[in-house]
Structure formats: structure tokens, C-alpha cells
Amino acid sequence: MRVAIASGKGGTGKTTVTASLARVWPGPLTAVDMDVEEPNLHLFLKPELAHSEQALMEVPEADESLCTACGACSEICQFKAISLLGETLLVFPEMCHGCGGCLMVCPAGALHPASRHLGEVLWGRADSAGFVMGRLRVGEAMSPPLMRAVNRRLQAMLTEEPGDVLVDAPPGVSCPAVSAVSGADLVLLVTEPTPFGLFDLRLAHQAFTPLGMPMAVVINRAGLGDEKVHDYCRRSGLPLLAEIPFDAEAASAYAQGQVLTDVLPTMRDLFKDLAAALPALAKPLREASHA
């Protein structure tokens, strides 16, 4: 089972939920931080990151002495990463998506593959769970290619040690967030019972619905705000699986980078119950995908 933990905006407690679930997970598990722009799951789970590798993407490099200015490369490039200005060839590697199209169509052999450094992939163990994360290079604008590298590493780890997967997705509903939840058997949407929380929950629910996977909600800082998130869940048929109370002990644990289940026995019970409730929700999709 692959569970993605997502939220319509940052700061809702998504990583707290991921870390707490990881601590009480009842079987073999790999935790993945797909928020490669601002990874912070490792700050809570404190894994031993024994391995790392640089993630690279193939981009074109030009030998202008061979270029005949035919324009085939700029015609095929959907991202304006290679173009002709008059007869001068311009390559913008930072805009390249690595599709390789220009390399294939160049009739003069004027383009050859070079590399762009995306960032690094780090992996190891957090107690009994596997752990993998990506860290985007400062200045790199595109996170999905690095997320794919993290996913490849995850698949290799699962081949060696099969088990469930918890994905800490990037916040929001942009391309990286959608990419991170794709392929999950279940998406847990973490929100707060406030007007902002409701607004962002709606956004996330609407953005992920076309992906066709089951979704459920966890309310963090329960006791704040109003009942409108509860009403929305009821009206939309979104199961509300857990409410994490807003109290000083939880806030203090979070501020100190502690996992709630490590320091608060009541949270341990709450997250064990949450973990136990997930397979039944994910089951229909898993059965369909294996039919």
C-alpha cells in the first residue's frame, strides 16, 4: 500500500502526520520525502542517511561549427529551451525538460548529450523503516525530474525490501504535488478547522479528484476554528479519519522537532488507530489495480 500525505498549503502538519504514522506503522515500511524543494521529514525521523547520489538530467550541448541552422531542434522543443536567432543557435539548459527530442532530430550531428545537475538523492534507515529523500540544487527550478530520481531509488529499495510506502508530498496543488501523489493507493489530506484550512482542503480535493484515488482527511489543531471542515467532509463523502487536538504539549513537541508519537502516549494510540484504518480505504483501488 502506498499512502501519500498531502495538504493544500504548507504548515498544516502534513510532515508531523507522516512522521507519526511512520513511527507506529505495523509492518515493513519505507518513508519518502518528495518535498525536494524543502525536505524536512528527516528533521523529525532523524534517519541515518548512509547513501547518496547526484541526480543528473540529460540536456543538449551544441557544437556550433556543425550546425546548419536548419531549425529542426527549435521546432520540436516544446519548452523554448533551444532556438535559432537568425542563424545563431541558442541553448538554454535550465529550461530543458530532458526529452531528448532535439538530439534525435538534428540531422547534422551538431547536438550531443550533456548533463544538468538537479540535486541529490539520499537514503538510509529511520529505525526499522527505509527512508529516501531528494534535495533540489539551489537555483534549480524544476523539481519533478529529481522526484523521478527519488522514485527510482524507492523502487530499487522496495525490490530489496518490499513493504508499504508513506509519501510526504510537497504542499499545494502544483505540478510537484500532483506528481507526488500520483500512483498512491490513498491520499490523506491534512488540514486545519479554519476558513483557510477549508479553502485549501477544497483546492486539494478538487485538484486530486481527477487522479481517481481514494482520499481521506486528518484534521490537525482540532479545537481551533469552526465546524466547516467537518461539514465539507460530510457533504463531499470524504472520510474524516482522525483529529489531532490543538494543545500546548503537541505544539511544544512540534517546535522541538519531536515526533508526536514519541513523546505523547495519547498520540501513539491515535496514530495506531489511524494506521489501522487506512488499508480498508485503499483496498478497493488495490483490488482493481490487481484485477
Q: State the minimum distance, in angstroms, from the CB of residue 82 to ligand SF4.
A: 4
Nearer to ligand SF4, 55 or 169 (CB): 55
Pairing of strands 111-126, 129-136: antiparallel
Note whether 147 and 179 are within 8 A (CB): yes
Binding residue for ligand SF4, selected from 82, 146, 173, 270, defined by CB under 6 A: 82
Q: Is 62 in the site for ligand SF4 (CB under 6 A)?
A: yes
Selected range binding ligand SF4 among 20-28, 78-86, 241-249, 262-270, rule: CB under 6 A: 78-86
The strand pairing partners of 240, in sequence order, are 217
Nearer to ligand SF4, 82 or 218 (CB): 82
Binding residue for ligand SF4, selected from 69, 90, 276, 280, defined by CB under 6 A: 69
Secondary structure string (H, E, C) spanning 127-169: CCEEEEEEEECCCCCCCHHHHHHHHHHHHHHHHHCCCEEEEEC
User: Coil, strand, or helix at residue 80?
Assistant: coil
Secondary structure string (H, E, C) spanning 235-248: HHCCCEEEEEECCH
Binding residue for ligand SF4, selected from 21, 89, 201, 275, defined by CB under 6 A: 89
Q: Is 57 in the site for ligand SF4 (CB under 6 A)?
A: no
Note whether 121 and 52 are within 8 A (CB): yes
Binding residue for ligand SF4, selected from 67, 129, 187, 219, defined by CB under 6 A: 67
Selected range binding ligand SF4 among 27-35, 94-102, 210-218, 220-228, rule: CB under 6 A: 94-102
CA distance 264 to 283: 30
Residues that bind ligand SF4 (CB under 6 A): 59-60, 62, 67-73, 76-77, 79, 81-82, 84, 89, 96-102, 105-106, 108, 110-111
